[in-house]
Every structure is written in C-alpha cells, then in structure tokens.
Amino acid sequence: MYSNLFSAQSVQDLMTVLPSLPYAIWETFYMTVLSTALSLVIGLPLGVLLVVGEKGGVLPLPGWLLQVLNVIINLLRSVPFLILMIMVFPLSRLLIGTTIGTTATIVPLVAAAFPFVARLVETSLREVDGNIIEAAQSMGATPMQIICKVMIPESIPSLLQNFTIALTTILGYSAMSGIIGGGGLGKIAIDYGFYRYKYLVMYVAVILLILLVQLFQSVGTKLAAKCDKRLKNR
C-alpha cells in the first residue's frame, strides 16, 4: 500500500483526477454550508424552546410537549449517520426526486445535523446569566423580547463557536455520504481510495478535507472572538 504510494502509476492516477478536484471541493462546500444553514433554521428554534419552555423558563411549555421534543432530538442523534442516510431515502426521493447526488445528500445531512444543532443552541443559551434575564423581566420585557434582545445576543459568541463545531461535523458527514453516491471530496476518496486502491488520490482528498476544516474553524473562532464583549473590554 505505502510502498507504491508515490509510484509513477499513482502520480499518473492523481494527475488524471486533478481536474475534477476543484468541482469536488465546490460540491463539498455547497453541501456543508447549505446543510448547516438549513440545520440552523430548524435547530435554532428547537434549541430556544428547550430552554425557554422548561418549568420556570421565560415561555413555559406543557411538560408533555417538551418531553416529546427531547425524545425526538435524542432519537435522531442516536442513529448512526450511515444508517440514517438509508432511512431517509424515501424523504430524499420525495423532496429531490432522487437519492443520489450532491443535492439529494443535503436531506440526510440536515436530518442528522439539526438535532445536534438544537443541543448546541440549548447549551449556549444556558450560559446566559440569569440575572440579566431577571432584570429584563423586571422591566416588563415580553418573552419574545427577552429571547430576541437578551438571550440570543448575549450568547452570540458561544453560538458562533458551536455553529462552527456543527459546520465541521457536517463536513465530516458530507465526506461519509460519498459511500452511497453523495458528491464531493468524500466520493473521490471512496471511489478511488477504497474501490480502486488508488491511495494517493484518497490521501490528497483527505488533506483537502482537513484544510477545509481548518478554514471553517479559523473563521468561526475569529468571528466568535470578535463578538465576545469580554475580550473587547480587556
């Protein structure tokens, strides 16, 4: 395996695949960013409800409803991603018209990611100082005002850090989706590295995935630090 890694044939195989790498990077970026955005649309409100809807919260919900939300989130999070992809094939076919390809892969990516995002949002909101919320309540702020103008703004640095974690996690999921026909760098790594034993191509794809993770993490960390009031006051 390693003895022929940089052989003339391996390099030739890499040069053959090289023209398709930019498009594969774009597919990976497209899947990751769009799936993360859709996961935020679903997961952010769920995470907020998990915090404000509990007993003694800003906007208490019926106990049975909160329990149902927790069960659904925990259930989806407990299913391994490769199995979940297969389970949501009917939904992908219903929404996209196919189960194969870059766009079709977004459906299982969102299904796997939004419960994770909901828990990350819940964790961030629980870090908000309770005294700030009590002060807003004493001034007559409505529950929606407290959520939109106090809780979310106060937790933005933590939310950005957690959203970055979600982004890099979804990037890893997108690479795994290559095993069932998803596009991007994961498909190249699996098609060439696993099925055709062209390991140099696989390693190049993995290195590109690592670079994308570093890029996303660096941008997310800088944004979180820029929005952190504690760092600004130092």
- Report, as an integer, the average pLDDT of 34-51: 93
CA distances from 232 to 76, 124, 136, 162, 203 (A): 38, 20, 23, 20, 41
| Residue whose entry in the numeric block shows the structure tokens 């570093």 | 214
- Report, as an integer, the average pLDDT of 5-9: 74
| pTM attached to this predicted model | 0.87
User: What does the pLDDT read at residue 44?
Assistant: 93
User: What does the pLDDT read at residue 16?
Assistant: 84
> What sign does the CA torsion over 66, 71, 76, 80 have?
positive
CATH architecture type of domain 8-227: Orthogonal Bundle (1.10)
Question: Does residue 233 surpass a pLDDT of 70?
Answer: no
User: What does the pLDDT read at residue 230?
Assistant: 62
- Report, as an integer, the average pLDDT of 26-35: 92
Q: What is the pLDDT of residues 187-206, one digit of tens each?
A: 888 888 778 888 888 889 89
More confident residue, 118 or 196: 118
Structural domain boundaries in the chain = 8-227
Percent of the chain with pLDDT over 70: 96
Residue ranges of alpha helices (H) inside 88-155 are 89-95, 102-125, 130-138, 143-146, 152-154
3-state helix, strand, coil in the chain (%, to 5): 80, 0, 20
